[in-house]
């Protein structure tokens, strides 16, 4: 197998696996085949890039629906299908149905897995009943159910092989993330930052589902899996660093949820992910930096030990949840070849770090509207090195409880939420779906009760002053920290992007359009309106010699929560309902997979 892998290390997406003998070789080899889509992130480096090039800038205008599939479920459809050989695996929001569809037989249902879950989990889910997708490994489809059950399903028969309980919904813990298989383990975090959950990242044995390790976002070193060798910006974090910046025992209800995307460097044997906002949203109730919420983590896959961390927003005052994806690539920065990690944070800054040691290389705003901080201090000799320089005018802490701080950009849903960006090794650009949204934010005192909301803030959202568009789709140069081009969208771009080797980039809109743009210029090449708003992630595969592009449509998620849950009060949905009220004029609830191809 080792010789076979080395002999097949050709093409951009294959390069990332060469020399990594200790990783899951079978899954790596499968991911090198551009005809399939075997990981929720496209590959371990989170590129969401395909080497397929049948669909080009010249012919994409002829793209048309080839077939469709109704999921039978409404509300927000995030994530994307998997394609393994002749079978497509499709997931739904709660109740988290999984379908296996026969690509050789007009999408015939081969099997259907429908878990029985207590609907009482629904009100515990923060921002719609979404699920971000499935994982595959060793003949198993991995599903993280809303009720925190992680189940391994036989990919051929649809029968459960094993299941394990990873959390407790009665305490506010739920699952919305897509699991990720790394080596012989399944990686999965937890949702619940709005319920005071002290979150974690955990590894479960792929063979039997048993817990292998668990690393919390805050707490003593024994819980966070930190040591004297763990660093932050090149310096040791210090003993029990996950306690000292919290008041008394607040870290025990500290938040730092881990429901985003996970990436992996097999050569370094490190996984990367982000931890979310601290609990509560009222910063006055939790003085200090609140480590290690809002943090990029690099952990050893075998042991969970943290090699390095970087906290993007110390003492978060705006719910700038740090769970967005980490995209791994090799870049030459200032004349030096680097193994880098690129992250587009909710706080509006695009970060580039050296992923071997956590050195901060670039931190720049990827939306000009961002105003809560003037910049990130890049002076290594400064006491505030690596920290955002917060402007008092937009500090909800300095303004105080029961004060409505106005005009903060971005809003709490960030310049980008979980909707994942794509990276093209052809252009060396990142293609980023963004929110162009500001907010008013009023904190208030709140008490903690296990299993009850622990938010403590009222929000309203709207476009930046003098503007009407609430979204942009941008191309970003991660080496320079610059926007290369930007396409305006009426609403936030809440779908995941897809880049292809033919320099066509795809994304979806909240009104329901699948769009294709030129990777180099951003010129719109194609659009087609699907039955419902798109918050799913675009993917591509090849079958029978034909390239297909597929996307789930079904409006919902945080931006579409008003439609999904029937909410009408402007401040409902943590402030999103009022900001996206006009969305109901363009789309309605749905749950459909639409698969596109060029005419035969």
Both tokens of 90, joined, read: 């499709």
Cα 369 from Cα 474, distance rounded (Å): 14
Cα 192 from Cα 140, distance rounded (Å): 27
Q: Quick check: is 367 catalytic?
A: no
Provide the β-strand partners of residue 142.
Answer: 135, 152
Provide the β-strand partners of residue 112.
Answer: 99
CB 5 within 8 A of CB 17: yes
Both tokens of 413, joined, read: 């849903």
Helix (H), strand (E) at residue 162: strand 160-165
Both tokens of 256, joined, read: 């730092």
First to last CA, the chain: 37
Q: Are strands 82-84 and 64-70 parallel, antiparallel or unpaired?
A: unpaired
From the candidates 147, 319, 321, 397, give the one annotated as an active-site residue.
Answer: 319
In 3-state terms, what secondary structure has residue 359? Answer: strand
**In sequence order, what are the residues at sequence separation of 6 or more whose Cβ sits closer than 8 angstroms to the Cβ of residue 437?**
409, 410, 411, 413, 461, 462, 463, 464, 470, 492, 579
Both tokens of 132, joined, read: 């971000």
Q: Are strands 504-508 and 498-500 parallel, antiparallel or unpaired?
A: antiparallel
- Give the CA radius of gyration of the chain: 22
Q: Mind giving me the DSSP string for 169-231?
A: GGGT-B--SPPEEETTEEEE--B-GGGT---EEEEEETTT--EEEEEESSB-HHHHT--TT-E
Q: List, by residue number, the catalytic residues.
A: 319
């Amino acid at each position: 197998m080792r010789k076979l892998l080395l002999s097949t290390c050709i093409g951009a997406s294959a390069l990332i696996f060469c020399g990594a003998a200790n990783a899951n070789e079978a899954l790596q080899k499968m991911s090198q085949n551009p005809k399939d889509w075997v990981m929720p992130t496209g590959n371990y480096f989170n590129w969401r890039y395909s080497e397929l090039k049948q669909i080009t800038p010249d012919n994409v205008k002829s793209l048309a629906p080839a077939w469709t599939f109704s999921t039978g479920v409404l509300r927000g459809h995030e994530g994307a299908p998997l394609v393994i050989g002749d079978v497509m695996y499709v997931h739904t929001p709660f109740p988290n149905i999984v379908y296996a569809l026969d690509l050789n037989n007009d999408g015939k249902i081969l099997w259907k897995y429908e878990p029985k879950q207590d609907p009482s989990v629904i009100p515990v889910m923060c921002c719609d009943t979404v699920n971000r997708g499935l994982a595959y490994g060793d003949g198993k489809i991995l599903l993280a159910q809303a009720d925190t059950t992680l189940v391994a399903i036989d990919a051929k028969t649809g029968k459960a092989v094993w299941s394990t309980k990873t959390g407790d919904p009665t305490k506010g813990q739920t699952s919305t993330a897509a699991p990720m298989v790394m080596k012989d383990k399944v990686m999965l975090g937890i949702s619940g930052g709005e319920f005071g959950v002290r979150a974690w990242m955990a590894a479960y044995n792929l063979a039997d589902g048993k817990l292998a390790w668990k690393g919390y976002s805050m707490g003593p070193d024994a819980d966070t899996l930190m040591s004297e060798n763990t660093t932050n910006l090149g310096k040791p974090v210090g003993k029990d660093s996950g306690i000292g910046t919290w008041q008394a025992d607040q870290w025990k209800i500290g938040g730092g949820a881990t429901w985003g995307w996970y990436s992996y460097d097999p050569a370094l044997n490190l996984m990367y992910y982000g931890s979310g906002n601290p609990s509560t949203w009222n910063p006055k109730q939790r003085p200090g930096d609140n480590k290690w919420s809002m943090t990029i983590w690099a952990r050893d896959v075998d042991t969970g030990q943290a090699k390095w961390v970087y906290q993007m927003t110390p003492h978060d005052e705006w719910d700038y949840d740090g769970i967005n994806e980490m995209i791994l690539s090799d870049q030459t920065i200032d004349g030096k070849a680097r193994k880098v990690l690129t992250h587009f944070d909710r706080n509006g800054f695009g970060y580039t770090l050296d992923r071997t040691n956590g050195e901060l290389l670039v931190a720049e705003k990827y939306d000009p509207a961002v105003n809560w901080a003037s910049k990130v201090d890049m002076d290594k000799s400064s006491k505030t090195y690596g920290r955002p320089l917060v402007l008092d005018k937009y500090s909800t802490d300095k303004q105080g409880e029961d004060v409505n701080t106005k005009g903060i950009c971005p809003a709490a849903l960030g310049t980008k939420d979980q909707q994942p960006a794509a990276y093209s090794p052809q252009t060396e650009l990142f293609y980023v779906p963004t929110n162009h949204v500001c907010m008013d934010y009023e904190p208030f005192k709140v008490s903690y009760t296990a299993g009850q909301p622990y938010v403590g803030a009222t929000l309203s959202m709207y476009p930046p002053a003098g503007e009407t568009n609430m979204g942009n789709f941008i191309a970003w140069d991660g080496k320079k920290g610059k926007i290369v081009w930007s396409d305006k969208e009426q609403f936030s771009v809440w779908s995941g992007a897809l880049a292809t080797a033919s320099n066509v980039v795809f994304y979806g809109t909240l009104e329901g359009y699948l769009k294709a743009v030129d990777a180099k210029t951003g010129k719109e090449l194609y659009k087609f309106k699907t039955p419902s708003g798109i918050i799913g992630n675009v993917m591509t595969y090849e079958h029978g010699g034909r390239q297909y592009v597929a996307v789930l449509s079904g409006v919902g998620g945080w931006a579409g929560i008003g439609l999904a849950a029937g909410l009408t009060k402007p401040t409902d949905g943590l402030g999103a309902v009022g900001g996206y009220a006009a969305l109901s004029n363009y789309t309605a609830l749905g749950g459909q997979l639409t698969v596109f191809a060029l005419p035969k």
